[in-house]
């Protein structure tokens, strides 16, 4: 008989709806696993009493909610404000910060009747693509605990991959959902720009970042996107609403599509690992076998876009408000990026935003004839913990991150939805993702295509050691 954690998030929600399992039973099951099995650096803060109280209070409400994830446990990334719960932003400078308000992500999860077990691990201010903060142990992939879970949603991915929660929210400003999804053998979806509200902080003035789901299956990701999506009063921009639910899009055939593909790295000169090449080639053949036309195309973003992105990234890092008396607690990479951001004056920042939007427009124009785009997710399988981090030379640290993730940030620049799918494992058992992107606001089509791929090459039954 299957254990509760063997079931998908949607299957667990169905059990709650049929009153075969209570929200409290699910919360207890996952809290016990988190307490016993979190050797992967998944959580910064566990909130067992709060979770049990919340789950108990939901016991008689299942029939009043239409969310298929009602009563299902989850966790909230430690970048997201959660009223009354320590929220460190991955930084020792905020190790004792407890916000008085919750942000849109937290409020949306609560409104759907989900139960948060705590805060998932993230690097300082979500900047690096590895998760090795000073406030928690490194987040590692359960497929090999000597290797990174990726970042910045490394804790969320480690939690889902190790079966500590069935589904979790992450955020993605340059690949921070898709990178850990690839490292941990999961589905990671970065939705279209404006799909999920950044209320109330609106901290990303450039439009690179968004929240999104991390899960074991495409359908679970779609269900969590239904929970998170939607605009709030005051949003500066928003994606048009879907024709139905995102979950229902997974049940529609996408039809024959034209899919562009390229493998040349966008933001770094780096040799692509043979396993990542093989995953991309195998995915291309799978898509063709499903009736799609796969076409080789040139890289749609020029290398000149890279320094423009880096200016915007550095300025966003510099905008992090840290009390003067705690500046010394910041990581070397954060101090280096912040210093670079403070050297950019207002007109230079404005020009960089304008240039980035022009590069995005050119890329969208170049890809307009295609329904989707296929690339690898990462240039290598997950690397050893500490392999990218270089406290003595932050510039080398940043360069290593670009070489690890030479494609993901392209779709943050364009605002396109993008998803990493776990379609390949190395001979040593390490997961390797491939990435599909779609036109802006065509999240439904992307999910329909991803669900078709999953049906043809299912992966959910594959679990890591210790599951």
Structure tokens that stand for 389 in this block: 């981090």
Residue 295 belongs to what H/E stretch?
strand 293-296
- Determine whether 176 is an active site residue: yes
Pairing relationship of beta strands 372-376 and 258-261 according to DSSP bridges:
parallel
Task: Write the CB contacts of 86 (distance below 8 Å, at least 6 apart in sequence).
Answer: 44, 45, 96, 97, 98, 119
Name the active-site residue from 102, 108, 176, 182: 176
Pick the catalytic residue from 108, 152, 182, 448. 152
Mode of pairing for the β-strands spanning 210-215 and 167-172: antiparallel
Q: What Å distances lie between residue 111 and 14, 66, 67, 87, 200, CA to CA? A: 18, 11, 9, 20, 16
d(CA 71, CA 112): 8
Distance of CA 364 to the CA centre of its chain: 22
240 vs 447: CA distance, rounded Å: 16
CA pseudo-torsion sign 254, 260, 265, 271: positive
Identified catalytic residue from 22, 67, 77, 215:
77
Residue showing tokens 């999910």: 447
Only one residue has tokens 């802006």, namely 440
Phi, psi of 376 (to 5 degrees): -65, 160
Q: Which residues are catalytic?
A: 77, 152, 176
């Amino acid at each position: 008989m299957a254990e509760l954690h063997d079931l998908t998030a949607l299957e667990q929600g169905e059990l709650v709806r049929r009153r075969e399992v209570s929200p409290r039973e699910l919360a207890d099951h996952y809290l016990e696993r988190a307490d016993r099995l979190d050797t992967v650096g998944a959580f910064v803060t566990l909130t067992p009493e709060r979770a049990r109280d919340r789950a108990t209070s939901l016991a008689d409400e299942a029939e009043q909610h239409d969310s298929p994830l009602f009563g299902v446990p989850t966790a909230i990334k430690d970048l997201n404000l959660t009223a009354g719960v320590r929220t460190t932003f991955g930084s020792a400078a905020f190790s004792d910060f407890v916000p008085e308000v919750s942000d849109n992500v937290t409020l949306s999860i609560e409104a759907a009747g989900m139960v948060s077990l705590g805060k998932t691990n993230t690097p300082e201010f979500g900047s690096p693509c590895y998760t090795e903060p000073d406030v928690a142990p490194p987040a590692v992939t359960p497929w090999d605990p000597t290797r990174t879970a990726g970042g910045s949603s490394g804790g969320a991915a480690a939690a889902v991959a190790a079966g500590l929660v069935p589904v979790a929210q992450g955020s993605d400003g340059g690949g921070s959902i898709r990178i850990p999804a690839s490292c941990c053998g999961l589905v990671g979806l970065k939705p279209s720009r404006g799909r999920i509200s950044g209320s109330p902080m609106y901290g990303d003035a450039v439009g690179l970042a968004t929240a999104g789901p991390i899960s074991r299956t495409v359908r679970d990701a779609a269900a969590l996107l239904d929970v998170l999506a939607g605009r709030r009063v005051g949003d500066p921009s928003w994606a048009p609403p879907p024709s139905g639910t995102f979950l229902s899009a997974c049940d529609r055939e996408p039809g024959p599509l034209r899919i562009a593909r390229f493998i040349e790295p966008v933001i770094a000169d780096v040799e692509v690992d043979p396993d990542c090449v093989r995953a991309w080639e195998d995915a291309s053949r799978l898509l063709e076998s499903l009736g799609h036309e796969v076409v080789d195309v040139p890289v749609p973003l020029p290398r000149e876009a890279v320094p423009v992105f880096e200016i915007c990234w550095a300025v966003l890092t510099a905008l992090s408000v840290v009390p003067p008396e705690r500046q010394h607690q910041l990581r070397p990479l954060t101090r280096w990026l912040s210093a670079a951001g403070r050297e950019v004056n207002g007109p230079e920042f404005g020009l960089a935003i304008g240039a980035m939007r022009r590069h995005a427009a050119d890329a969208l124009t170049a890809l307009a004839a295609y329904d989707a785009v296929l690339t690898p997710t990462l240039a290598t399988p997950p690397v050893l913990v500490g392999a990218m981090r270089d406290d003595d030379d932050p510039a080398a640290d940043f360069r290593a991150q670009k070489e690890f993730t030479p494609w993901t940030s392209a779709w943050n620049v364009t605002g396109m939805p993008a998803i990493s799918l776990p379609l390949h494992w190395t001979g040593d058992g390490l997961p390797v993702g491939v990435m599909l992107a779609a036109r802006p606001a065509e999240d439904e089509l992307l999910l329909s295509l991803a669900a078709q791929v999953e049906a043809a090459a299912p992966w959910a039954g594959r679990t890591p050691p210790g599951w």
